[in-house]
Chain A
Amino acid sequence: MADRFKIRSTVKCDVLIIGAGGAGLRCAAEILERRPGARIIALTKVSHPQKSHTATAQGGLAAVDPRDPNDANIFHMFDTWKGSDCTADQNVVRKICESAWEQIIWLENRGMHFSRDPQGKLSKRTFGGHTRNFGEASAFRAVFEADRTGKGIMDTGWGECLKRGIHFIHQTVAVELLIEDRHCAGCIAFQQKNGTFVQILAKATVFASGGSGQVFKVTTNCRQNTGDGLALVMEAGLPVMDPEAVQFHPTGIVGPGILASETLRSVGGILRNKDEEPFMAKYAPKMKELAPRDLVARAIESEIREGRGVMNPDHQIQHVWIDLRHLPAEVHERQIPEVVSFFKHYVNLDPRTQLCPVRPSNHYHMGGIPTNEFGEVQDAGQQIVDGLYAVGECAAASFHGFNRLGTNSILELITMGKHIGDRIIERLERESSVRSDIAPCRFQEKFAGYFAAGGADHIGQIRNILRAVMTEKVSVFRTEAGILEAIETLRELDERARKTKLTQQSTAMNQELVQRWELDNLLAVSMAICQAALHRKESRGAHFRDDFPTRNDAFQYHTLVSTTDEFGKVELGRREVDMTIFGAKGENYEKFGLIERKY
């Protein structure tokens, strides 16, 4: 029996990419392009890289076109800093904004099908929070591929890697990082299809495993986003940074949580409660429906909490309505056709004649694996872990601080992906061999434990309780009492999970086994979110404490959370926010001080 958990084979490569989404593949493509013949292995948890979450990003990616006389990198940096509520790292912000356009061109020259203006140049549109002249007027800064920009990035990254001979291992999860004395030598991976474990040794390992949205019951994220990357680094004794910084989109479609874009509100959609009363004026008298994401999300959540929500009987989820009935047919047909089709597809409603159900939906994790501006992973003492990098949504460099601006995430994937590629190329010139002396020490015991448990509980039900409690207690509104309650529930669920028996003994394509493992990851990430949220007795960006509703700059730092052997007991640390733009005292430096996040 124990044979099942033996390492079947060991493979060696130059670079191991854990997660073949937009970030991982941009990094791989850079290395393959400049070092043809480099041996790169990329793991993907989904059935094929193209199925990664990046493929769902709709809106666009921000980048200042150097030919645009009205826009400038400094404005993009300012918007990002302001949006982050003064917790983005300015060295990272500068690096990403300054290399943005070059990376757009990289994608275009390799065949991404960007939308075009009548002259044939890249079309641009505006997005919430993107301004010129430090907030003066909207900036047209986002390039896009219709409503499928992420898919364009995914297709291009996948195509380029395929062209240059990457080696994919599909439907495979990293289950243990091989780390010793601040050196990473690769990972142990579990191949779901045939149920076997392999050891992959690499000169450089890049974590690019994406988000953690499945922590919450209603989310825009895909089914595989269970925060595996964060859980794995914590298990390896490394911290995660700012886990409490979680973004909620105000209008997810009930029940699955599918994103209904901001455009609905900008074209005049009105939010109504169960009595069909418009309510935004109560919360934002001037801006009403056009108030920033987090404010609208809290307004909706307040209506629901005060009993003015509506229960969807099929999905058992509370929501409010968005009213689009009064909008002219032309708006429905020309400006919001995709979202209108979502309502038709997923709730079978016609927004021209019917009210549509929406509620806040988990959307993005700003927090993640702490790295420096080169994507090198840091430990709790901010020392670099040699050979380990992180990029994309699982990483926190941090470009977004406590609140991400729309269109800044997929920009981060392609810019940081490229920069980390550069860094690894330098490394490959130095390192001639992989290290094979770091032995795995956790995964066998863990997987054997899953099969040894004998209780009659149910993994799916435990996961559902976890997701419900995180949504109720630790999402849009947080209070000390609520968070403590959630922590208690997580402890109980962890106990229950340990005792739960698996129905089937086989390891091959055993979905329940993978879900059991994911449950451990969800528990670990949820606990990190709770503990950091409890500690941060202020409100900042997307983190809102009902009991501490304003920002307190004594907390202007990044939270570091490390786990201990006891579930629920964590060690907290801090990392200072980089303020080098402010510190350089150059032109407009005062815009990069501790400014208010007011729109």
Chain B
Amino acid sequence: MTTYDLTLKVHRYDPDRDKSWVQTYQLTAGRILRFVDLLRKINDEQDPTLAWGSSCEHGQCGTCSMKINGKPLLACELLVENAVAQFGTTTFTLEPLGVAPVVRDLVIDTEKAYFRLDKVKPYIIRPKAQPGEGKEHLVDPKSLERYVTATRCINCFCCTEACIASHHNFLGPNAMLATIVRLMDDREEEKEERLKCLYSNEGVYRCHSSRACSHVCPKGIDVAHYIALAKAGAF
């Protein structure tokens, strides 16, 4: 059985004392344990006070995002042996995302990160008239194909973390994506308000096309492509 001797340097924060520090944990782990398993192992064997977040633990909900050796990613999708290969080390630094204030240790105030989304109205603002009782709107699969990958977004905020512009005024790539989806969706009639939001001073013009968002997205969404479409005035 292959095992790895790992060193995890975890950025911690104690709200009661308003104190931050980096704590080092040593542990031995099998090759296919995920980083969420490592955190649980630390809780069970060494330190029950270390706080971290997860929910689905299989890449479907975006709760466990954090920075590992500087890269925003989902801790439930990172296996020990892949991490060692990818980063070329057995020492890992774990930090919370910077997109919202830290509550404790690796847990951030996700609700505040979501304020960015709430601003772009992630729903149909003004729906097209219902096509008749018991009937769906017809949506051409070819037209759906153009934006369907964007609907895979789980709002993990990895892209927003990676996007330098998002740390200032920009609402961020995933918020832009949410509004772009509804611009491409024929069932939304309120295009004007959406365009206003897209081209506002918190909108796509803040993006400087670094493509970091596409690079880190765990769902493989080419976020920068959609933003480039918006910047080119495709809608």
Contact = CB atoms under 8 A, between A and B. Distances in A.
Interface of A: 46-48, 50-53, 55-56, 66-67, 101-102, 104-105, 108-111, 113-122, 145-146, 148, 151-152, 155-156, 158-160, 162-163, 168, 170-171, 193, 222-224, 255-256, 258, 313-315, 342, 345-348, 458-461, 464, 503-504, 506, 508-512, 515
Contact of B58 (A119, A145, A342, A512): A342
A113 B55 contact: no
Contact of A512 (B31, B49, B107, B137): B49
Contacts of B125: 163
A113 B181 CA distance: 10
A162 B55 contact: no
Interface in B35-73: 37, 40, 43-45, 47-63
A342 B135 CA distance: 35
Contact of B111 (A47, A53, A104): A47
Contact of B59 (A67, A345, A464): A345
Contacts of A511: 43, 48-52
Nearest to A507: B16
B79 interface: yes
A116 B139 contact: yes
Top 8 A-B residue pairs of the complex, sorted by shortest distance between their CB atoms: A314-B30, A159-B123, A120-B138, A460-B44, A47-B110, A509-B104, A313-B1, A111-B124
B61 A109 contact: no
B61 A50 contact: yes
Given A53-B55, A162-B123, A508 B33 contact: no
27 contacts: A51-B55, A51-B63, A104-B136, A105-B134, A109-B130, A110-B123, A111-B185, A115-B141, A116-B140, A116-B144, A155-B122, A159-B122, A159-B123, A222-B56, A223-B54, A224-B55, A313-B30, A315-B33, A342-B58, A346-B32, A346-B79, A458-B48, A460-B40, A460-B44, A504-B48, A506-B15, A506-B16
Given A313-B30, A509-B103, 18 more contacts: A101-B134, A105-B134, A105-B135, A111-B124, A111-B182, A120-B141, A162-B121, A222-B55, A258-B57, A314-B1, A314-B33, A315-B37, A345-B79, A460-B45, A506-B16, A508-B103, A509-B15, A511-B49
B131 to A, nearest CB: 8
Interface string B142-157: 0010001001101100
Contact of B138 (A104, A121, A156, A506): A121
A256 B58 contact: yes
B114 A48 contact: yes
A68 to B, nearest CB: 12
Nearest to A502: B48
Nearest to A311: B1
A116 B141 contact: yes
B222 interface: no
Contacts of A224: 55
B93 to A, nearest CB: 21
Interface in B55-109: 55-63, 77, 79, 81-82, 103-104, 107, 109
Contacts of A105: 134-136
Contact of B77 (A56, A115, A345, A508): A345
Contacts of A108: 136-137
Interface residues of B, number: 69
Most B CB atoms within 10 A — which of A48, A56, A255? A48
B104 A120 contact: no
A464 B138 CA distance: 50
A56 B136 contact: no
B144 A163 contact: no
Contacts of A118: 141
Contacts of B61: 46, 50-52, 55-56, 222
B141 A163 contact: no
Contacts of B123: 110-111, 156, 159-160, 162-163
Taking each of A47, A55, A115, which has the highest tally of chain B beta carbons within 10 Å of its own beta carbon? A47
B187 interface: yes
Residue of B50, B81, B104 with most partner-chain A CB within 10 A: B104
A118 B142 CA distance: 9
B124 A110 contact: yes
A53 B61 CA distance: 8
B60 A151 contact: yes
Nearest to A58: B60
A348 B44 contact: no
B34 interface: yes
B151 A223 contact: no
B202 interface: no
Nearest to B52: A511
A342 B104 CA distance: 31
Contacts of A116: 139-141, 144
A348 B103 contact: no
Contact of A348 (B82, B138, B148, B187): B82
A182 B104 CA distance: 40
Nearest to B152: A148
A59 to B, nearest CB: 13
B136 A109 contact: yes
Contacts of A345: 58-59, 77, 79
B118 interface: yes
B119 to A, nearest CB: 11
B77 A459 contact: no
Contacts of A168: 111
A508 B111 contact: no
Contact of A51 (B32, B62, B118): B62
Contacts of A314: 1, 29-33
Given A66-B134, A509-B15, A50 B51 contact: no
